[in-house]
């Protein structure tokens, strides 16, 4: 294998791909990145067997070939290089790659590419084209409600449904639920599908989408290909594949409140700041912040025996009955941090019924938050 | 440990009314009983130094010599007749006993089953006198050489009662029991120098410095003495003093828990349980606290005349005594030093490798600042604790608040910088202990049927959870329902094999609910017969174990900071509810030593 390519492009691609490398890989070779030079491009692949990220970038190929190299040292080396042309040459007998860029030369010992696990080749199923920025936002707003606890695997996933040109993403950990809808500009006629994507894979995808969109390179198309057990997201040289979670997602539609005994409207940033300050005193496991409606304002409070207590108010418009309710501060902060509208609405039906948080002027997002029962 | 000045009346035969008031009973069961009686006599005689020798498991020879007041020649023979004593006169005296002995039975009983020689020389008298007793026949007194004080030698114990000998254990075990009895006496009276020789070898020497810690060092070793914390508490007229060992110096048997009531060694199950209760959640199964405690109260509040060997006493209010001991121990032990990680010292012989860490169980007691010697002996009752006691530390890990987290290792351990080194925390164990206290409180409130006071915070679930369980656990649910509600569960029966759950203890990850409910019901079934506090402990431990972050969970920097702060606020935070350490300290000094820096 002999080739040359842009050090800067390679570093960027490698940075994205290595997000799939597990810091504690079960197989030693999974700490490596598979690098293949063929067909006028260098192909990078990293996987932890659940999540796989592929990337290809243009290169001048003098002699095709492949090798796997340790992700960590390779990333550190190329990230430190100034931009310029980088030349690769593999010594097949020692499985060592010579990397040259300007005055720098490195020899990195690798493992034979033949030892890298064979990954299933995905056959294209239905495809949906999405706006990457909107999808990144939708991902961020739903992933936050997913569980990180493997005890109930379905809750670590995000239900993704496509029907009638609308994509719906849903996540819950049993205590809160996030629902986000977005239009699908291009779908094959009559596409109607539903699958559960691991939240972690979506979070990695979201990180990949953000800088891409920020490049000003124009809208990027994102495609979903599905074969039943896996899904692949494709965009400009990248492919993110993940195993899907199997099972029947709980029927979430019933828990979204449809009535509104109390509707509170307030400034999102102020609400976030107030909740953050008050939550400093919500220190025990329950992490409870109490919310009480007063005429024209909200009172937030928290107390912990060992620490003390903390009360704050913020102006709010209150409609309906007076409200006293308590939430896990974490659940409240999680949603307030990711809302982009200036104002937010909190809809409640008493202190023990589900609360609903939604951005004012944006009907595409709803966040249901279950109260904590305490002495109010 | 006698408060009264060692003065002595004339030995005389007790009137029958007194004799009858004293329940009859066998005093001498085994060689250790002889040692106990003779040592008590020596202490009652005001000895400053007592020497005990044991040979042939005590069957061949037991010799106890003291430098006490001595017995006048003309009283020496009378001392061997039953109910002959100098310690009490009237029945009324029984209610005011301040000496260890009083029944007037010991010497007579020993004389009945062994050959006894007593040599005594009262202070200020020029010569000693000797009597010998064999088969209850007293010979003497006659003149004999002897130092001031009394020396009693017992030979051929149970020689005439082979049936009794048949019940004894191996000589080695009997000798060990003799040493133990002497050691307990030494612990009870740190102001008396006690020397024990068993089979010709010296097995114990206490300095008689008056410092309990010195006696503990002699009996249990230097590490134990260092790991002990002073106990001092008054509770409803009872005063509990002594030393109690931190969890790091706990023992594999209950023998290291020496309990005294007004200076008298007692084997009181209730008080023993009180000490162990204070250590609940601090010791792993099979480990028992090390403690030397004296409970002082007005003699009228305790009846010592319950048992011929005075092994048990009876308090007028047992609960007060129990509470006093439990609180006193807890107050002392909650300030225990965390465990230190023991580093093997120095470099390996090859000089290439660093000394490896000690074995996994290498928890060492923390070095405690030792008190300055020479404190003036106080006159108050109970143990006089050393002048400069270690600085009071209200909570074991309060300083964790000031520790600087360095990060998480292997998603299992937290590594932090302390003021004087490095600490490694087991994240699961630490979090478990933090949660344990919250749950324990919830259970207590639920049991006391005052849930309105402060219900445990309860997270309402988005969707009801159906929990499938074995039928016997579902059947047990109604009896456990209030307890489960007390910690924050909303559960109701749903068919024969499941429960419907609509709310869970706040802070509990949703994914673990089913496993936890099952574990709680199983534990509740298993612990139904236990005392309420023990049951609460077990249930809270189960809850905490399920709710805590797991060994292997990644924690955020804020999460780590918070865990440290919470641990600082947690009483007894140095161990998990099962008694394993949460924190291992590695001091700068130990590290320097291990790295070969001077």
What is the structure's pLDDT at B470?
85
What structural domains and CATH numbers belong to chain B?
16-205 (3.30.565.10), 221-354 (3.30.230.10), 395-598 (3.30.1540.20)
Q: What is the mean pLDDT of chain A?
A: 87
What is the structure's pLDDT at B89?
62
Judged by CB atoms closer than 8 Å, whether chains meet at B511 and A152 is answered as yes
Tokens of B286: 């099979």
Q: What is the pLDDT of residues B126-169, one digit of tens each?
A: 788 888 888 767 787 888 887 888 899 998 888 777 777 778 88
| Distance separating alpha carbons of residues B538 and B323, to the nearest angstrom | 21
In chain A, which residues have their Cβ closer than 8 Å to the Cβ of B510?
147, 149, 152, 155, 173-175
Judged by CB atoms closer than 8 Å, whether chains meet at A255 and B462 is answered as yes
User: 3-state SS of chain A?
Assistant: CEEEEEHHHHHHHHHHHHHHCCCCCCCHHHHEEEEEEECCEEEEEEECCCEEEEEEEECEEEECEEEEEEHHHHHHHHHHCCCCEEEEEEECCCCEEEEEECCEEEEEECECHHHCCCCCCCCCCCCEEECHHHHHHHHHHHHCCCCCCCCCHHHHEEEEEEECCEEEEEEECCCEEEEEEEECCEECCCCEEEEEEEHHHHHHHHHHHHHHHHCCCCCCCEEEEECCCEEEEEECCEEEEEECECCCCCCHHHHCCCCCCEEEEEEHHHHHHHHHHHHCCCCCCCCEEEEEEECCEEEEEEEECCCEEEEEEEECEEEECCCEEEEEHHHHHHHHHHCCCCEEEEEECCCCCCEEEEECCCCCEEEEECCEECCC
| Distance separating alpha carbons of residues A25 and A47, to the nearest angstrom | 10
Residue B314, C-beta contacts closer than 8 angstroms, at least 6 positions apart: B302, B303, B306
Instruction: Choose among A151, A250, A251: nearest Cβ to B511.
Output: A151
What is the structure's pLDDT at B410?
87
Residue B153, C-beta contacts closer than 8 angstroms, at least 6 positions apart: B61, B62, B63, B116, B117, B118
What is the structure's pLDDT at B342?
65
Closest to B192 in 3D by CA, of B70, B34, B50: B50
| Distance separating alpha carbons of residues B512 and B501, to the nearest angstrom | 12
Q: How confident is the model at residue B250 (pLDDT cuts 50, 70, 90)?
A: confident
- Cα A9 versus chain centre, distance: 23
Four-CA torsion B516, B520, B521, B526, nearest 10 degrees: 140
Q: Is the pLDDT of residue B3 over 70?
A: no
Q: In angstroms, what CA-CA distances link A83 with A5, A8, A9, A89, A102?
A: 10, 5, 9, 19, 9
Judged by CB atoms closer than 8 Å, whether chains meet at B507 and A352 is answered as no
| Distance separating alpha carbons of residues B36 and B3, to the nearest angstrom | 19
Which chain B residue's Cα is nearest to A149?
A: B511
As a whole number of angstroms, the longest Cα–Cα distance in chain A is 79
What is the per-residue DSSP string for B273-327?
A: HHHHHHTTTTS-TT-B--EEEEEE--GGGEE-TTSTT----EESSHHHHHHHHHH
Residue that is written with structure tokens 């056959």 in the block: A123
Closest to A315 in 3D by CA, of A275, A368, A247, A265: A265
Residue A248, C-beta contacts closer than 8 angstroms, at least 6 positions apart: none
Judged by CB atoms closer than 8 Å, whether chains meet at A175 and B511 is answered as no
Q: What order of strands is seen across the sheet that includes strand A128-130?
A: A65-70, A32-38, A41-47, A51-58, A238-243, A230-235, A222-226, A128-130, A186-187
Question: For residue B127, which phi and psi values (nearest 5 degrees)?
Answer: -130, 155
In this structure, chain A runs to a length of 376
What is the structure's pLDDT at B454?
58
Q: What is the pLDDT of residues A39-54, one digit of tens each?
A: 999 999 999 888 899 9
What structural domains and CATH numbers belong to chain A?
2-115 (3.10.150.10), 127-252 (3.10.150.10), 256-369 (3.10.150.10)
In chain A, which residues have their Cβ closer than 8 Å to the Cβ of B458?
372-374
Tokens of A305: 């025996």
Best residue of B510, B515, B567 to probe chain A, by most A CBs closer than 10 Å: B510
Read off the pTM.
0.65
Mean pLDDT of B563-585: 84
> Which segment, A57-66, B144-153, B283-292, B364-373, is predicted with the most confidence on average?
A57-66
| Distance separating alpha carbons of residues A131 and A222, to the nearest angstrom | 7
Return the number of other C-beta atoms located less than 10 Å from residue B394's C-beta.
Answer: 9
Residue that is written with structure tokens 């720098």 in the block: A104
Question: For residue B573, which phi and psi values (nearest 5 degrees)?
Answer: -65, -5
Q: Which one is predicted more confidently, B343 or A206?
A: A206
Q: Is the pLDDT of residue A269 over 50?
A: yes
What is the structure's pLDDT at A297?
93
Q: How confident is the model at residue B368 (pLDDT cuts 50, 70, 90)?
A: very low
Mean pLDDT of A118-137: 78
Is the complex ipTM more than 0.90?
no
Closest to B110 in 3D by CA, of B181, B30, B173, B186: B30
Residue that is written with structure tokens 């009752």 in the block: B381
Instruction: Choose among B457, B462, B565: nearest Cβ to A176.
Output: B462
CA angle, residues B553, B556, B561, in degrees to nearest 5: 110
Q: Which one is predicted more confidently, B54 or B12?
A: B54
| Distance separating alpha carbons of residues A359 and A180, to the nearest angstrom | 11
Kindly report which listed range (A162-166, A295-299, A348-352, B303-307) carries the lowest average pLDDT score: B303-307
Residue B139, C-beta contacts closer than 8 angstroms, at least 6 positions apart: B131, B132, B133
Closest to B370 in 3D by CA, of B266, B239, B241, B222: B222
Q: Which one is predicted more confidently, B351 or B35?
A: B35
A interface toward B at CB cutoff 8 Å? 147, 149-152, 155, 172-177, 250-252, 254-255, 283-288, 306-307, 326, 328, 352, 354, 368, 370-375
B175 contacts B54 by C-beta, under 8 angstroms: yes
Question: For residue B459, which phi and psi values (nearest 5 degrees)?
Answer: -85, 120
Q: What is the mean pLDDT of chain B?
A: 77
CA angle, residues B555, B585, B581, in degrees to nearest 5: 70
Strand-pair category, A104-109 with A60-63: unpaired
Instruction: Choose among B506, B508, B510: nearest Cβ to A152.
Output: B510
Instruction: Choose among B435, B461, B515: nearest Cβ to A285.
Output: B435
| Distance separating alpha carbons of residues B362 and B340, to the nearest angstrom | 8
Closest to B397 in 3D by CA, of B442, B363, B366: B366
Closest to B248 in 3D by CA, of B271, B270, B219, B220: B220
Q: How many CB pairs under 8 A join A and B?
A: 95
Q: In angstroms, what CA-CA distances link A194 with A163, A168, A183, B225?
A: 9, 9, 15, 68
Q: Is the pLDDT of residue B540 over 80?
A: yes
Q: Which one is predicted more confidently, A152 or B244?
A: B244
Residue B166, C-beta contacts closer than 8 angstroms, at least 6 positions apart: none
Q: What is the pLDDT of residues A302-353, one digit of tens each?
A: 887 666 788 999 999 999 999 999 999 999 999 999 998 999 999 999 999 9
Instruction: Choose among A354, A373, A375: nearest Cβ to B503.
Output: A373
- Cα B440 versus chain centre, distance: 24
In the DSSP assignment, the letter for residue B583 is E
Q: State the nearest Cα–Cα gap between B358 and chain A, in angstroms.
A: 26
What is the structure's pLDDT at B447?
66
Residue that is written with structure tokens 């139904």 in the block: B528
Tell me whether the omega of the peptide bond preceding residue B141 falls within 30 degrees of 0, making it cis.
yes
Q: How confident is the model at residue B26 (pLDDT cuts 50, 70, 90)?
A: low
């Amino acid at each position: 294998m002999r080739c040359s390519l842009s050090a800067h492009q390679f570093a960027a691609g490698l940075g994205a791909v290595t997000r799939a490398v597990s810091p504690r890989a079960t197989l030693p070779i999974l700490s490596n990145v598979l690098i293949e030079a063929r067909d006028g491009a260098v192909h990078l692949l990293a996987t932890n067997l659940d999540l796989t990220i592929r990337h290809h970038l243009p290169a001048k190929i003098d002699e095709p070939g492949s090798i796997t190299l340790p992700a960590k040292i390779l990333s550190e080396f190329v990230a430190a290089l100034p931009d310029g042309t980088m030349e690769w040459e593999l010594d097949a007998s020692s499985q060592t790659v010579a990397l040259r860029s300007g005055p720098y030369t490195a020899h990195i010992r690798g493992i034979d590419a033949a030892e890298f696990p064979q990954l299933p080749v995905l056959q294209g199923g239905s495809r949906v084209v999405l706006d990457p920025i909107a999808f990144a936002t939708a991902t961020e707003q739903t992933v936050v409600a997913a569980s990180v606890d493997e005890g109930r695997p379905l809750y670590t996933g995000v239900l993704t449904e496509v029907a009638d040109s609308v994509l719906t993403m849903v996540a819950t950990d049993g205590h809160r639920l996030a629902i986000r809808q977005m239009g699908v500009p291009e779908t094959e006629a009559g596409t109607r599908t539903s699958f559960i994507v691991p939240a972690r894979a979506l979070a990695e995808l979201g990180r990949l989408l953000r800088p891409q969109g920020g490049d000003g390179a124009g809208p990027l198309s994102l495609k979903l290909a599905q074969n039943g057990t896996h899904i692949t997201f494709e965009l400009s040289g990248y492919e993110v594949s993940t195993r899907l979670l199997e099972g029947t997602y709980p029927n979430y539609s019933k828990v979204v409140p449809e009535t509104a005994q109390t509707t509170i409207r307030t400034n999102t940033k102020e609400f976030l700041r107030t909740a953050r300050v008050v939550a400093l005193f919500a220190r025990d496991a329950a992490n409870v912040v109490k919310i009480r409606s007063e005429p024209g304002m909200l009172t937030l409070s928290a107390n912990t025996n060992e620490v003390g207590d903390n009360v704050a108010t913020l102006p709010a418009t209150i409609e309906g009955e007076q409200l006293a309710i308590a939430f896990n501060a974490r659940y409240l902060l999680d949603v307030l941090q990711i809302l982009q509208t200036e104002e937010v609405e909190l809809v409640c039906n008493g202190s023990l019924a589900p609360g609903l948080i939604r951005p004012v002027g944006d009907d595409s997002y709803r966040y249901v938050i279950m109260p904590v029962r305490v002495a109010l | 440990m006698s408060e009264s000045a060692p003065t002595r009346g004339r030995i005389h035969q007790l009137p029958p009314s007194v004799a009858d008031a004293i329940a009859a009973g066998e005093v001498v069961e085994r060689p250790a009983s002889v040692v106990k009686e003779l040592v008590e006599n020596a202490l009652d005689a005001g000895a400053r130094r007592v020497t005990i020798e044991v040979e042939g498991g005590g069957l061949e020879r037991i010799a106890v010599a003291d430098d006490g007041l001595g017995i006048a020649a003309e009283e020496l023979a009378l001392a061997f007749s039953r109910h002959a004593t100098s310690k009490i006169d009237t029945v009324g005296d029984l209610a005011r006993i301040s000496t260890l002995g009083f029944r007037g039975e010991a010497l007579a009983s020993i004389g009945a089953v062994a050959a006894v020689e007593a040599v005594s020389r009262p202070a200020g008298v020029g010569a000693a006198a000797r009597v010998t007793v064999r088969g209850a026949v007293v010979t003497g007194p006659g003149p004999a050489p002897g130092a001031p004080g009394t020396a009693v030698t017992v030979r051929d114990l149970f020689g005439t009662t082979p049936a009794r000998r048949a019940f004894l254990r191996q000589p080695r075990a009997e000798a060990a029991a003799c040493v133990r009895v002497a050691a307990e006496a030494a612990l009870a009276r740190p102001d008396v120098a006690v020397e024990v020789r068993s089979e010709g070898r010296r097995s114990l020497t206490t300095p008689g410095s008056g410092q309990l810690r010195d006696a503990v060092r002699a009996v249990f070793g230097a590490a134990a003495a260092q790991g002990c914390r002073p106990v001092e508490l008054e509770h409803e007229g009872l005063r509990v003093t002594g030393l109690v060992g931190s969890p790091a110096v706990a023992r594999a048997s209950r023998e290291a828990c020496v309990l005294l009531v007004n200076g008298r060694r007692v084997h009181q199950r209730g008080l023993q349980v009180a000490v162990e209760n204070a250590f609940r959640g601090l010791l792993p199964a099979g480990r028992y606290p090390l403690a030397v405690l004296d409970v002082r109260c007005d003699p009228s509040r305790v009846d010592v005349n319950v048992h011929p060997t005075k092994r048990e006493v009876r308090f007028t209010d047992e609960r007060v005594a129990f509470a006093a001991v439990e609180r006193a121990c807890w107050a002392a032990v909650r300030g225990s030093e965390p465990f230190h990680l023991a580093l093997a010292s120095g470099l390996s012989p090859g000089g290439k490798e660093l000394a490896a860490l000690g074995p996994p169980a290498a928890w060492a007691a923390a070095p405690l600042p030792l008190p300055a010697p020479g404190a003036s002996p106080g006159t108050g009752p109970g143990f006089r604790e050393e002048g400069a006691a270690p600085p009071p530390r209200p909570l074991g890990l309060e300083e964790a608040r000031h520790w600087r987290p360095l990060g998480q290792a292997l998603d299992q351990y937290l590594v932090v910088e302390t003021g004087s080194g490095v600490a490694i925390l087991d994240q699961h164990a630490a979090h478990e202990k933090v949660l344990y206290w919250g749950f324990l409180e919830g259970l207590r409130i639920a049991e006391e049927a005052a849930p309105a006071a402060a219900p445990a915070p309860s997270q309402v679930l988005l969707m009801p959870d159906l929990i499938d369980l074995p039928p016997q656990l579902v059947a047990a649910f109604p009896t456990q329902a209030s307890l489960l509600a007390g910690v924050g569960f909303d559960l109701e029966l749903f068919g024969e094999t499941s429960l419907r759950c609509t709310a869970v203890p706040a802070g509990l990850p949703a994914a673990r609910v089913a496993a936890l409910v099952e574990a709680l019901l199983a534990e509740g079934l298993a612990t139904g017969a236990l005392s309420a506090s023990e049951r609460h402990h077990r249930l809270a431990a189960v809850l905490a174990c399920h709710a805590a972050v797991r060994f292997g969970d990644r924690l955020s920097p804020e999460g780590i900071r918070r865990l440290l702060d919470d641990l600082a606020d947690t009483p007894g935070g140095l161990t998990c509810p099962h008694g394993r350490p949460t924190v291992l300290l590695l001091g700068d000094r130990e590290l320097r030593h291990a790295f070969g820096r001077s």
